[in-house]
Amino acid sequence: MSPIVDRLRLVGIPGSNRVMAGELSRLARRALSEFRLEEPKKQGLGSVTYPFDARLGWLAVQHHRTSARVLWDLYESRAARLEPLFAELVAAGTDDSRPWCWDGAKLSVDAFGVDEFAAGERQVVGTVKNALIEAAAQRKIRLEVDPERPDIRVQVRLYEGTLVVSLDLSGRPMHMRGYRMEAGDAPLREDLAALLVMLSRYDARTEALVDPLAGSGTILIEAACLAKGRPVWMSGRKPDAERHPVFETFARPAPLFGDTAPVLFASEIDRHLRETMERTFVTAGVERDVAILGGDFRNIDPKLLMDRARARGVERGVIVTNPPYGQRMGSPEALWDLYRDLGEWCWQLKGWRHAVIVANPDFPEAFGGRPRIAKPLRNGPLRGYFYLYES
Ligand SMILES: C[S@@+](CC[C@H](N)C(=O)[O-])C[C@H]1O[C@@H](n2cnc3c(N)ncnc32)[C@H](O)[C@@H]1O
């Protein structure tokens, strides 16, 4: 098995493989019309790979919202010890003419999930780093180690006994998009919010999307950006790929579905959070897409909400939300009442779907009805569920 590989890898939240692949396929159909996207290979629950193509890599690192990392896999090894790992990587790197690094570039190496390798994480990192530097030197390319301000970030991951060495195309996690300057106590991570919107099967051309428990508004921002195919990075943030010679001829990203006008509504009971949400909408550039209906969702008449959606040209809609789950919210009884009231409110929106991520086992019973989909989905350290209801 040659240690040289050439793959684009999307790493995401466990359970996101189908959605990540679906999102990339939608982006590629729009942006790369002549391109034939191959079926992805899945590795575990949160990782899909494709044959590497720089155009696809650029598209993913600039637009893909449900992935946590976009990587270019360069080498892999089934070596079980450090010495053969070093030897394999030096041999492969010396023969490798791909321009993934350049003379004088600063390098960092990080390892993830390598606990089952026969050596410790720091030793794996040190070995991979030394091998890459040694192989580059053989090709007269000087690489310097600089973990603080690297030009090139390398990641090492272990998948079923195979160590994979990849270049991180974004440089920082994909969820650090640049619009969240402040947030509530329990903001949903941006890639998880995007995943939730995708799982709800929201169609911005025909449906409204409402988050009645909007917090700092992450779900709505992600829905607006997905609808318009907006680039991921904002507020001057750029992915590492923009400094990379492989991508230097690619055009700056622009919205792919810029003429879509999503119909989005929010409510949030906490006044300070509502103000944060408004400011965040402005930073994210979605303030014209989302109407803030008010505070307590219980004071919003579902029939008037449906009328407002119709007035903006959509007959149907979807609730996408992330209710409080208990750690910070009062008594279990208060939480039960909130879930029950949310259910009673949602069920009045006839013909709508309701998509919820929640980490509280009481939710389904209190909300009522039977979910069409119940899928385990982690929210950070919390074991949660995604539920999809149809009314
Ligand atoms: C888990 S947080 C949502 C976080 C949000 N997804 C984000 O990314 O920031 C739940 C939110 O529901 C709000 N909330 C609780 N009861 C509410 C009610 N009756 N009406 C509207 N909002 C409510 C809370 O103030 C809290 O901000």
Per DSSP, the residues of 295-345 read S-GGGS-HHHHHHHHHHTT-SEEEEEE----SSSSS-HHHHHHHHHHHHHH
- CATH 3.30.2130.30 in the chain is located at 4-168
Ligand 1-lining residues (CB < 6 angstroms): 183-184, 186-188, 212-213, 215-216, 218-219, 267-270, 273, 296-298, 322-324, 338
Whether 326 shows a pLDDT value over 90: the answer reads no
- Given ligand 1 and candidates 191, 218, 269, which is best to mutate, with the most ligand atoms within 8 Å of its CB? 269
What confidence score (pLDDT) does residue 58 get?
98
The string of pLDDT tens digits covering residues 270-289 is 999 999 999 999 999 999 99
Distance CA 328, CA 276 (A): 19
What confidence score (pLDDT) does residue 327 get?
61
Query: Under CATH, what is the fold of the domain 4-168?
Result: VC0802-like (3.30.2130)
**What CATH class does 190-390 carry?**
alpha beta
| Band of residue 238 on the pLDDT scale cut at 50, 70, 90 | very high
Distance 356 CA to ligand 1 centre (A): 12
Whether 183 shows a pLDDT value over 70: the answer reads no
The string of pLDDT tens digits covering residues 16-39 is 999 999 999 999 999 998 899 999
The SS3 of residue 360 is coil
pTM equals 0.95
Q: Which amino acid is at 6?
A: D
Strands lying side by side in the sheet with 353-358: 290-294, 263-267, 207-211, 316-321, 353-358, 382-390, 373-379
Percent of the chain with pLDDT over 90: 90
- CATH 3.40.50.150 in the chain is located at 190-390
Distance 40 CA to ligand 1 centre (A): 36
Mean pLDDT across the stretch 202-214? 98
The string over 235-271, giving b where at least 16 C-beta atoms fall within 10 Å of a residue's C-beta and e elsewhere, is eeebbbbbebebbeebeebeebbeeeebbbbbbbbee
